[in-house]
């Protein structure tokens, strides 16, 4: 029986809704085809009262991605955006230059197992990373897992999780689009094929194989439950996997685990929110089948642990804003009375540490650049490891039982390089270097300092062609992040290179909220102090104008994710200071952000409108609520995509509609919406190049720069 015959009124509503959606889509298409004005966006009289304050939300209907009306609106916005971008001179020339800079052979840090080296590599002619193995240091690279045939549009990617001790079993993730969720597969290296064990699509925070490859410990997250630690015995049904840990922890928590190199100890970390301002630490002697023991549970501090031998090394900001490292002997009492401080706090931030070759390699951030030092297990300083210059160490990989280590390094104008270190002989060589067609000697990198609104001194890096003249007319592209204790340190940027090649200045601001100067710097830009982040960015722009680098009509800005929130905030607070903006995968409705996807993780960083006190400061800066009709806003392009399962694309949809309705300037407000991609990892290089091209050509057009000097 036809269900519509049972529910005739329901059938009429569906039919009428479909007609309305079709008519609406046709009207949007007609508007988009003119290329003169953006598609119309319906405004609803939606209001709610939060803690006594009436909040208008006229575009709440755009939160529903599945509705035919929203789908038609997205299609019309994409047509409108393409109708403008396609007419900008130089778009293809810019794409070619970005392709030259980005389509280069790229390798990840290798993992050595029993004389075999495992790594991911993306060739210059490839879209995606392929998992390889090299037999011996100078052996031939052998393809193990190539994701390119798995999807015709190259939206399915793979990433390497772990390899067994003998190098015979590999765990890898299979991800579709830009989603965070993935499937976990296992690959028999000798037979060159997957084995039947497969973990279902989900968020996985850790996947650690036993050294013998007979089992795997992993953390799986479910939105309605939270994170849980499981053990899977190979060649068994994953639905019967043993629950090890996690009962009672809700979806606002994160859990990570680390299995020691010898497989004896399992270390578990419970993080309270994505900023991890409180972390619990537990250890289990799994070789002896011992109980899970508590190391840390009652401290409001960040801890990151790694077991080497029978010692648990703990990096923490407990009573040390710039971090220190403790050693905990796992064969003795685990209470804090028995901890040993190995590396004390100093004037540099301990960013990370790596137990390699019987030594502790410590990566520091000092004045926002990297330095690396080697220490003995008892904390004795052994030596500093030289780096090429002003840049960033992007990771170190090695094994406690081997003196071989690999170190990744780069800077704004210096391409990504992997160095091989022999800690026993102190020898150093290049394992892999990106061959990027750029002459680094043409560019200068300078660190400057300025005063923010509250007189706090804030640093900023500037990248430019040598011989730059300060005449107040240089086009500037500013970027920043300012959140979650993440440090913005110098790293190779095709955007910076192309901008500087055209005579512009690329500026990266080290905003409060990041981790550049430790936990105090982070806390100065979170929760009720988030406005400091925006003030820092505004202060940087004002300094660049006062110092005759540029003028407001020549300043473009860009930021993604938390950086997208930054862009949204500063263009609503100081629209007069900026000419054009890229706002990518942003958070913009801060009164509702924690209701969608995994955003509850970020409440410790931002707060929640459900709390009356936190509502006040969120309401004071939430960009979506601060768009005012008639204000002359800068030109803005919003970038987002459907497969973004981290920051909900609804933010970009609602803000696009709001700004198109409100702006009093003739500067365009565009939405570039990828219906098959997102901002998480795993996107094809082609998609990355296309998106970067469209964002940058938009800025070049609006600032009258080289690649696109005239408006269409």
Number of C-beta neighbours around residue 649 at 10 A: 29
Q: Phi, psi (5° rounding) for residue 692?
A: -65, -40
Print burial letters for 41-51: b (CB count within 10 Å at least 16), e (below 16): beeeeeeeeee
- Give yes or no: 561 in active site: yes
Token digits of residue 262: 């010898």
Output the six-digit token pair for 618. Answer: 């969120």
Catalytic residue among 561, 622, 643, 684: 561
Q: How far is it, in rounded angstroms, from Cα 575 to Cα 635?
A: 10
Q: What are phi and psi of 85, to 5 degrees?
A: -65, -35
Q: Is 482 left (phi over 0), alpha (psi -120 to 50) or beta?
A: left
Between the alpha carbon of residue 661 and those of residues 234, 276, 631, 655, 690, the distances in Å are 57, 39, 11, 10, 27
> Which residue do the tokens 């002003």 mark?
390
Pure H helices in 516-611: 519-523, 531-546, 562-573, 603-606
User: CA separation (Å) from 479 to 321, 366, 455, 636, 640?
Assistant: 26, 21, 21, 14, 18
Distances (CA, A) of 496 to 34, 490, 501: 34, 11, 8
Rg of the chain taking only CA atoms, in angstroms: 26
Structure tokens that stand for 557 in this block: 């800005």
Beta strand pairing status for 417-422 and 443-451? unpaired
- Which residue among the candidates 232, 413, 522, 679 is catalytic per the annotation? 679
CB-CB neighbours of 237 under 10 Å: 10
- Catalytic: 185? no
Catalytic residues, which ones? 561, 679
């Amino acid at each position: 029986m036809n269900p519509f015959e049972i529910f005739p009124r329901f059938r009429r509503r569906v039919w009428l809704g479909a007609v309305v959606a079709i008519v609406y889509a046709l009207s949007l298409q007609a508007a988009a085809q003119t290329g003169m004005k953006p598609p119309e966006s319906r405004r609803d009289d939606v209001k709610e009262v939060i803690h006594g304050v009436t909040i208008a939300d006229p575009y709440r209907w755009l939160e529903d991605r599945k509705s035919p009306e929203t789908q038609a609106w997205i299609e019309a916005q994409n047509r409108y955006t393409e109708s403008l971008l396609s007419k900008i001179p130089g778009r293809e020339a810019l794409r070619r230059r970005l392709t030259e800079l980005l389509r280069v052979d790229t390798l990840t840090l290798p993992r050595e197992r029993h004389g075999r080296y495992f790594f991911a590599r993306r060739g210059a002619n490839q879209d995606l990373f392929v998992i390889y193995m090299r037999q011996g240091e100078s052996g031939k690279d052998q393809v193990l897992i190539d994701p390119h045939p798995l999807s015709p549009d190259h939206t399915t990617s793979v990433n390497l999780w772990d390899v067994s001790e003998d190098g015979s079993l590999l765990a890898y993730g299979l991800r579709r689009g830009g989603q965070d969720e993935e499937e976990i597969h296992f690959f028999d290296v000798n037979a060159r094929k997957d084995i039947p064990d497969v973990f279902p699509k989900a968020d996985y925070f850790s996947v650690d194989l036993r050294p013998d490859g007979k089992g795997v410990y992993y953390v799986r997250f479910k939105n309605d439950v939270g994170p849980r630690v499981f053990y899977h015995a190979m060649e068994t049904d994953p639905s019967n996997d043993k629950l090890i840990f996690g009962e009672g922890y809700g979806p606002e928590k994160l859990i990570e685990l680390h299995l020691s190199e010898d497989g004896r100890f399992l270390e578990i970390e419970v993080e309270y929110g994505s900023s991890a301002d409180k972390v619990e630490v537990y250890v289990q002697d799994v070789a002896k089948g011992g109980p899970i023991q508590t190391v840390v549970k009652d401290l409001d501090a960040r801890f990151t642990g790694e077991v080497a031998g029978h010692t648990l090394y703990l990096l923490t900001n407990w009573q040390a804003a710039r971090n220190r490292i403790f050693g905990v002997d796992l064969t003795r009492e685990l209470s804090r009375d028995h901890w040993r401080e190995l590396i004390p706090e100093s004037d540099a931030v301990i960013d990370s540490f790596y137990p390699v070759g019987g030594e502790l390699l410590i990566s520091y951030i000092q004045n926002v650049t990297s330095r690396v030092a080697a220490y003995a297990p008892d904390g004795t300083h052994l030596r500093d490891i030289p780096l090429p210059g002003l840049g960033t160490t992007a990771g170190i990989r090695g094994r406690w039982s081997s003196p071989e280590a690999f170190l990744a390094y780069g800077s704004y104008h210096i391409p990504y390089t992997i160095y091989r270190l022999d800690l026993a002989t102190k020898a150093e060589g290049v394992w892999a270097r990106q061959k990027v067609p750029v002459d680094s000697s043409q560019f200068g990198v300078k660190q400057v300092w300025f005063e923010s609104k509250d007189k706090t001194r804030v640093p900023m890096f500037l990248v430019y062609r040598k011989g730059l003249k300060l005449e107040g007319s240089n086009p500037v592209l500013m970027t920043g992040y300012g959140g979650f204790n993440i440090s913005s340190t110098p790293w190779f940027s095709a955007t910076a290179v192309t901008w500087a090649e055209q005579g512009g200045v690329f500026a990266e601001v080290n905003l409060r909220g990041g981790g550049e100067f430790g936990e105090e710097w982070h806390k100065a830009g979170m929760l009720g102090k988030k406005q400091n982040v925006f003030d820092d960015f505004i202060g940087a722009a004002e300094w660049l104008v006062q110092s005759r680098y540029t003028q407001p009509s020549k300043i473009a800005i860009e930021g993604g994710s938390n950086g997208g929130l930054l862009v949204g905030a500063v263009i609503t607070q100081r629209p007069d200071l900026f000419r054009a903006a890229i706002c990518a995968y942003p958070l913009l409705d801060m009164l509702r952000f924690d209701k969608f996807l995994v955003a509850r993780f970020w409440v410790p960083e931002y707060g929640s409108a459900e709390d009356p006190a936190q509502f006040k400061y969120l309401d004071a800066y939430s960009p979506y609520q601060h768009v005012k009709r008639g204000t002359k806003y800068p030109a803005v392009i919003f970038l987002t995509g459907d497969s973004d399962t981290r920051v909900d694309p609804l933010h970009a949809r609602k803000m696009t509609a709001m700004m198109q309705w409100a702006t009093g300037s003739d500067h365009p407000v565009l939405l570039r919406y990828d219906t098959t991609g997102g901002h998480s990892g795993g996107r094809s290089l082609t998609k990355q190049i296309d998106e970067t091209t469209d964002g940058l050509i938009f800025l070049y057009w609006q600032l009258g720069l080289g690649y696109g000097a005239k408006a269409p």
